[in-house]
Structure 1
Amino acid sequence: MLREASEQRIRLITIMAFVSIPLSGFVTDIYLPSFPSMARELSVSEKDIQITLTSYLLSYGISQLFVGGILDSIGRYRPKLVALFLLIISSILITMTNSILLICLLRILQGAAVSVLVVATRAIFVDIYDSERVKHYLSYFTIVWSCGPILAPFLGGYLEKLFNWHANFYFLAFYAGFLFLFEWFFSEESLPQKKKLDLSENISLYKMMLKNKIFMLGIFILGLSYSIVMLFNITGPFIIENTFHFTPVVIGYCTLILGFSWMIGGFIGKRRLSLDFGPRILQPILLQLILIAGLITTSFFAEDLFIMIPFAFFIHICSGILFTSFFTTSMLYFPKNAGTAGGLMGGLVYVITSVTSFIISVTGTVTEQKGLAWRYLMIAIILLGIILIMHQAVKKEKAEN
């Protein structure tokens, strides 16, 4: 049992858990600079390539709704091994096909596999540490996770330039293979006491969690905050390459810069966790709306990469602040059912993100900076509305207590 392992071994497991966290970001983002070239090589539309990402996000989200309860019942160790193995195989298979349908199906499989990895990794910290240490480590989750969006497209841009889009998926197979070997030789089960899988009990747990208004509003805020970042991920490569006429390497550098903005937002959000709801949450969303209004206004006079990226940088910082604030507090709502709560939260966040991404994909091709800016605004307005509702709910809860 991992809880009974030596302090040195637990430290090693903790370090490797953090090493594995960016994998989900890599699976999502490494092939973003290859979107235009994939569309050309596979002879499909931009929308079809965007659907490969939406398929992954939807599978990743839906799977987490069920994975939590399963992992609380059968443990974390063996499911992680199976998930890593499936990720290795599916990544290699993607490089061997030119069928966009098969790629979407394999991306669905990858979404399910990564959901197991993410939920199990989050739950391991709850399994082996006390509540204070858990809170400390969870506050770093979004910061460490942001290494994926930072490094993945940057690396993907160079892999695209030096080789082709297939190299991105070979890298994913290598990353997953490294983690598989570590888990096989050094890790073990962390769950101190397995719970019998009881469908009716899980349904009751979900009902109880879904009825918690503040918990659910927090999930919607998480989903919409991440949707703002994902909006650029699915539209930015086409704007940069097809409209501004830059290379995939430039796309990689742009997403690298915006990945840093998410990390910066995470650090700022962590430092602001002790603030009251108003300054902690309302200030970032209002600043974000001002920045989006500035991008829209500027777009009427000039559309340029060196205008779009600085505005997006600060817009994404605001999203990172909001995401980190709500991620930490939401994960601690149900500590006795960490796997189930983490699965429900993560699942719904990505379902929201995937639905938003799908809507963006089917509402027309975004070819201009202005189109990106207006879509930023629509998401941010909805986000503000939900935050105001939550603000009232938090005030009411405090008054009752």
Structure 2
Amino acid sequence: MRLTNPLPLFMMMVLFSPLAIDIFLPAIPQMAEALSVPVSWVQQSLPMFMLSFGIGQLLAGPLADRYGRRPVALTGTLLYILTSSMAALASDYALLMAARLGQGFSACALSVAAFAGVRDFFGAERSKPMFSYLNGVICIVPAAAPLLGGLLTHWWGWTANFWFMAGYGVLVSAVLWLMLPETRPDNTRSEGRLLSWSRYASVLEVETFRFHAVLALLGMAMIIGYVAQSPTRLMVELGLDARSYAIWFGVNAVINIMAAFAAPKVVGWMGQKRALWFGVVLMALAGMAEFALRGLMTPIAFMGPVFVASVAFSFLIAICAGSALAPFGDRAGTASALLGLFQMTGAAIVVGLFGASGLSAVEQLSLMMALPLVWVLLRGRRQQLEPQPEAA
């Protein structure tokens, strides 16, 4: 049995990554106690996951182009089940970190297969709003996962979070086995070594990919920067408790969801060029407001500009992901993997550099909100802002 429109399946596939990031956050103190390590050690499982998620795409992309999206996705679900179970059964810190490393590799395989599948199935132009819808679905997890993780931890302990991930993997694996079609085009380029510089150089040589991939990277850096800086600002500096923090965090996730589903229609009405300028200018204005309000010690003074920046980010994703992948109908897997590497690993590097700058949390976030506009001003020649023709 195959679906005539596999978008719901792609939506299920992209949830593996945010689920592995957000659901176990309330359990971190309990995990540290159970494994007899400092809380800061357990927190390192987050960058460990993101590192393997980003680097793993360099292999997952060529695999998806050579062997197809379906086998890569199914392999990813099986590996996710195994590594999630491994984390749940971990009796020491080293085993937990190894499991998190494996979770990152498995989640990246599913993400690459999903993004390449969208590009395959919907084509260069129709795929652009679909990527925004995927982003909206991804944002559902940060809104709900911490609450679910807190309940699972309260009722059954920290291991329940990883058993839940494994259970989700079993469910989605069965659905994909029955319904996921193979979308890889017949003209896909898959010859040569899996890992070679020339494979990725041919993607990086395309100007529209570089422009939109870097813009997506900078937008994602703002999101990661907010996630990294919000606990310091809201809980340490403003004194919010965990419940109040979760509420503010969830409200922003809901705003992101609504903006992600509305953005494609607004972009269609405004036109891609004007919508892109609107997005980067709106995010820069949010950064200015964030900086101007830094002296007001209230949650809304910090989160209000974040709400605006999250809406702006939805416009960027609605345009950048599809535009970056548009020229690569014959190697969408490789291009999707490289885009994912830009977004995750590249954004994490930017956030890390700002974190080492010595600036305050608000100052860092304010500057990150301005970076997309700076990039467009530096590289925003007209031909980069217009839709690019698809390569044969």
TM range (shorter): 0.7 to 0.9
In structure 2, the residue corresponding to 1:228 is in which secondary structure?
Answer: helix
- Indicate how the Cα distance of structure 1 residues 320 and 99 shifts in structure 2: closer, same or farther if over 3 A, else same: farther
Shift of 1:376: 0.8
Q: How far apart in 1 are the matches of 2:76 and 2:24? A: 20
Matched to 2:381, the amino acid is Q
- Indicate how the Cα distance of structure 1 residues 378 and 132 shifts in structure 2: closer, same or farther if over 3 A, else same: closer
Shift of 1:101: 4.2
In structure 2, the residue corresponding to 1:345 is in which secondary structure?
Answer: helix
1:118-177, Cα deviation, whole Å (9 max, x unpaired):
111222334445556545534422222222233223323443444544332222111111
Q: RMSD between aligned alpha carbons?
A: 3.2
Shift of 1:388: 1.2
Conservation of the 8 A alpha-carbon contact between 1:69 and 1:202: no
Q: How far apart in 1 are the matches of 2:170 and 2:209? A: 36
- Aligned equivalent of 2:342, options 333, 341, 348: 348
Q: TM-score, normalised on structure 2?
A: 0.84
Q: How far apart in 2 are the matches of 1:124 and 1:341? A: 12
| Corresponding position of 1:55 | 48
- Aligned equivalent of 2:70, options 64, 67, 77: 77
User: Is the deviation greater in 269-278 or in 249-258?
Assistant: 269-278
| Corresponding position of 2:214 | 220
Q: How far apart in 1 are the matches of 2:117 and 2:205? A: 26
Is 1:159 matched up with 2:148?
no
| Corresponding position of 1:391 | 380
Q: How far apart in 2 are the matches of 1:12 and 1:77? A: 15
- Indicate how the Cα distance of structure 1 residues 94 and 184 shifts in structure 2: closer, same or farther if over 3 A, else same: same
- Aligned equivalent of 1:125, options 100, 118, 127: 118
Q: How far apart in 1 are the matches of 2:154 and 2:385? A: 55
User: Is the deviation greater in 203-212 or in 133-142?
Assistant: 133-142
Q: How far apart in 2 are the matches of 1:247 and 1:162? A: 21
Matched to 1:125, the amino acid is V
| Corresponding position of 1:30 | 23
1:172-214, Cα deviation, whole Å (9 max, x unpaired):
1111111112223444544354765412896434212212233
| Corresponding position of 1:116 | 109
1:268-315, Cα deviation, whole Å (9 max, x unpaired):
43134344565322333333233333333333242x334433332222
Shift of 1:41: 5.9
- Indicate how the Cα distance of structure 1 residues 130 and 312 shifts in structure 2: closer, same or farther if over 3 A, else same: closer
Q: TM-score, normalised on structure 1?
A: 0.82
Q: How far apart in 1 are the matches of 2:238 and 2:30? A: 15
Matches within 5 A, 1:94-243: 94-97=87-90, 99-129=92-122, 133-135=126-128, 137-187=130-180, 189-191=182-184, 193=186, 196-199=190-193, 203-237=197-231, 239-243=233-237
User: Is the deviation greater in 125-134 or in 376-385?
Assistant: 125-134
Structure 2 unmatched ranges of 5 or more: 388-392
| Corresponding position of 1:323 | 317
| Corresponding position of 2:366 | 377
- Aligned equivalent of 2:58, options 46, 53, 65: 65
In structure 1, the residue corresponding to 2:314 is in which secondary structure?
Answer: helix
Matched to 2:12, the amino acid is V
| Corresponding position of 1:266 | 260
Conservation of the 8 A alpha-carbon contact between 1:292 and 1:376: yes
Matched to 2:130, the amino acid is Y
Q: How far apart in 2 are the matches of 1:101 and 1:150? A: 30
Q: How far apart in 1 are the matches of 2:265 and 2:56? A: 32
Q: How far apart in 2 are the matches of 1:19 and 1:360? A: 33
- Indicate how the Cα distance of structure 1 residues 203 and 158 shifts in structure 2: closer, same or farther if over 3 A, else same: same
In structure 2, the residue corresponding to 1:116 is in which secondary structure?
Answer: helix
Matched to 1:56, the amino acid is F
- Indicate how the Cα distance of structure 1 residues 283 and 50 shifts in structure 2: closer, same or farther if over 3 A, else same: farther
- Indicate how the Cα distance of structure 1 residues 319 and 174 shifts in structure 2: closer, same or farther if over 3 A, else same: same
User: Is the deviation greater in 171-180 or in 211-220?
Assistant: 211-220
1:60-116, Cα deviation, whole Å (9 max, x unpaired):
112212311111111222332221122112122223336444433322211111111
- Indicate how the Cα distance of structure 1 residues 127 and 300 shifts in structure 2: closer, same or farther if over 3 A, else same: closer
- Aligned equivalent of 2:293, options 294, 298, 301: 298
